[in-house]
Amino acid sequence: MSKIMSKYFTPEDSALLLIDHQVGTMQLIKNIDVERAKRMSLALAKTASILGIPTVLTSSQEDRLQGPLLPELKDILPDAFDKRVKREGIVNAWTDANFKAAVEATGRKNLIMAGITTDVCLVFPAIDAVSEGYNVQAVMDASGSPFELSEDMSRRRMQDAGVVLTATNTMIAELAQNWSWLDTGKDFRNLALSPRFADH
């Protein structure tokens, strides 16, 4: 039976985990438009920057086909980019001691997760985090897989384990709740609703 979250995520109790959003791995996405997945990933990063949400970035074998992290992440979250966890071939980021330590250091129990690819890089850490008492929302349009079948199976596995599936606009709205209290309200609304926000 799936575990149901008891409350909404807020900027004060959440952390953002972006797993393997690398130039090479992005090209493996076939189930949704790659540029859309990129825009949504960068929107999450911008949201974290605006709201002060701690962010953990991780990459795998940047010197191989996976390539470097998306360069835009360095502009949006320079500190998190510099402190990114570079994994050497470990598939499940949750089993990487440095990654898990970085997550624990945020002090947050609500984890917003996205990964490229869903069927390899997101599914396992999302499930493991829930099993260790974290609340996890997986942002599906900031993730993606090479095949619709493997994407679907991964979604089912995550949901069965208690991971809540969501989408970028829904996640941003959940975190903001009320646009009016933000000094950057107009820009924030544009970020949440514009299909081209990553170009701004």
Alpha-carbon gap, residue 131 to 129, rounded angstroms: 5
Residue 4 lies in a domain: no
Tokens at residue 130, please? Answer: 């829930």
pLDDT in tens, 108-134: 999 999 999 999 999 999 999 999 999
| Res. 63 pLDDT band, cuts 50 70 90 | confident
Predicted TM-score of the model (pTM): 0.89
In a domain, residue 6? The reply is no
- The label of the residue with tokens 């900031």 reads 142
HSE of 165, CA atoms in CB hemisphere, 13 A: 18
CATH number of the CATH domain containing 80:
3.40.50.850
Number of domains in the chain: 1
SS (HEC) of 137-158: EEEHHHCECCCHHHHHHHHHHH
Q: Which residues are catalytic?
A: 121
Domain that holds residue 189: 15-194
Closest of 94, 72, 92, 74 to residue 84, by C-alpha:
74
Distance CA 50, CA 41 (A): 14
Residue 200: inside a domain: no
Q: How confident is the model at residue 24 (pLDDT cuts 50, 70, 90)?
A: very high
Residues in a beta bridge with 111: 15, 136
- At residue 30, φ and ψ (nearest 5 deg) are -130, -15
Beta bridge mates, 115: 19
Q: Report if residue 199 sits inside a domain.
A: no
pLDDT in tens, 175-190: 988 766 555 555 565 5
DSSP strand pairing (14-19 vs 85-87) = unpaired
In a domain, 7, yes or no: no
